[in-house]
Amino acid sequence: MTQQTPIIQPPTIQPIRIFDTTLRDGEQSPGVALNHTQKLEIAHQLARLGVDVIEAGFPIASPGDLEGVSRIAREVRGPIIAGLARANRADIEAAAKAVELAERPRIHTFIATSPIHMAKKLNMEPGAVVERAIEAVRLARTFVDDVEFSAEDATRSEWPFLAHIFKATVEAGATTINVPDTVGYTTPEEMRALFAFLKGELPDHVILSAHCHDDLGMAVANSIAAAQGGARQIECTINGIGERAGNAALEEIVMAFHTRKDHYGFETAIRTREIYRASRMVSRLSGMPVQPNKGVVGDNAFAHESGIHQDGVIKARETYEIMNAELVGREAAVLVMGKHSGRAAFRKALTDLGYDVAEDRIKEMFARFKDLADRKGQIYADDLRALVDSRTDIPQTFVLEKFQITSGTDMQPLAYVRVTTPDGPREATSSGDGAVEAIFHALNKVTGIAPELEVYRVQAVTKGTEALGEVSVNTRYGEISIHGTGVAPDVVEASARAWLRVINQIVAGMGKSRQISQTTV
């Protein structure tokens, strides 16, 4: 008797909502301080990416945070715009004010539910926690129709108590129930079982959501397991940034569902070709570089050095690549651009890379492109990305005209700078322990502003000895945290551009001050 091969039916495809919290939980990463303009730029990119929900911030944190969320609510269309609020009147009213002009507003309120949090942090009895949650959801529903409730530290909470508080908040008006693995404690098996349990306890119309942290390196696996258990919304961040070890990485979850749709049976509304652009933007503005070996967006994600791998890829790319670079917005081919390229070709190259640049900015960028081509020769796709991503998005009170470094083995480096100011050109010289410190001191002298350097990073934008250098600085000026980046073939010039970007933000009042501690979900 011939044995028949069993027929495996493909899974029914289920939609998964992507809730992006880069601007809220992601911004709580140590050293990250985004100003309003930067947050708005990221929010517009998240809308282009196709996320379902943008958690724009924690409005009660400071007047600046409230205004930042309000600006996103006013200007970004498409995704739901959510504001986070603890389970109290002041927080909820601030969140309501912040999102009131959104096309699709949401209030996301939470309270801790684990025994250790209720006893040690809240100093509340479980019954009082439930009552506080009910009151918070009811109040939020007086402002918006879309209310999400989260049980902080849910994965260390008692399951019967979770079911009880979730049922109570759903009856009070919550439309989405979020289950956070706040401290990255759980495992995929536990997560899947927890969601299967909650799905059986709650009404079918309720959207279950997962929010996972990466303390044990399992945030993406736990998020996928939650979806297998019944979650239909996943909360994540670009590049997986977030406090401590970070959050579940949006790009890894989305591409896992996309690449293995045959296995998982899930799909998202994400436009995958915008993923790499979003990753680079968040890395540049947050000052957090992406590790080279990171999945999907790391520099080495589509690189092959092994001879065996190279041979296989040359013969058939799918031998060692389960997805192609173009699928996530990374062009595999080199753009043939150089000093002889015209403005029309330059504009087309930007369009091919997915950039929609206003005509009045093309002239400025083309001038920088020609200068770069004269100095560097062949221009690669990532060079053009860096050129666009480093465009001026703040008022240019001070502009670097010229600089020169004098140094040697037996002398302290001396920097000369010439800067355009509102009062005309100014010049200054200063010394330092190194060329970078010397040029920072010279710029401080010529502008009269001296930020304090906290973090300095430099990385190559492209490969080779002629690669562009990208410098990222995190600074403090009084109580304000300010981040700046600069791109140039010369690292000292890139450092000077990053430092001037910080100084121009200080002059424009675009730094960020945190008035109260951020709160995590």
What 294-303 contacts at long range (C-beta under 8 Å, 24+ apart), as own/partner pairs, is 294/239, 294/249, 295/249, 295/251, 295/252, 295/255, 296/249, 296/251, 296/252, 296/255, 296/328, 297/239, 297/251, 297/328, 302/330, 302/332
| Angle between helical axes of 89-99 and 63-75 (0-180°, round to 10) | 40
DSSP code of residue 57: E
8 Å CB contact between 131 and 169: no
As a whole number of angstroms, the distance between CA 94 and CA 142 comes to 13
Structure tokens at 434: 């190194």
8 Å CB contact between 515 and 508: no
247 labelled as ligand-binding? yes
| Angle between helical axes of 275-286 and 381-389 (0-180°, round to 10) | 50
340 labelled as ligand-binding? no
Mark out the alpha helices in 260-358 (DSSP H runs). 261-264, 275-286, 307-315, 343-352
DSSP code of residue 402: E
20 labelled as ligand-binding? no
As a whole number of angstroms, the distance between CA 445 and CA 301 comes to 43
Q: What are the residues whose beta carbons fall under 8 Å from the beta carbon of 105, sequence distance 6 or more?
A: 73, 80, 81, 82, 99, 143, 144, 146
Q: Please state, as a whole number, how many other Cβ atoms lie within 10 Å of the Cβ of residue 334.
A: 11
Q: Please state, as a whole number, how many other Cβ atoms lie within 10 Å of the Cβ of residue 63.
A: 12
Structure tokens at 321: 């690549």
239 labelled as ligand-binding? no
Burial of 312: CB neighbours in 10 Å, binned 0-12, 13-18, 19+: middle
Q: Could you give the C-alpha distances from 339 to 384, 416, 436, 462, 489, in angstroms and in order? A: 13, 28, 29, 18, 15
Annotated binding-site members: 25, 211, 213, 247
Annotated binding-site members for Mn(2+): 25, 211, 213, 247
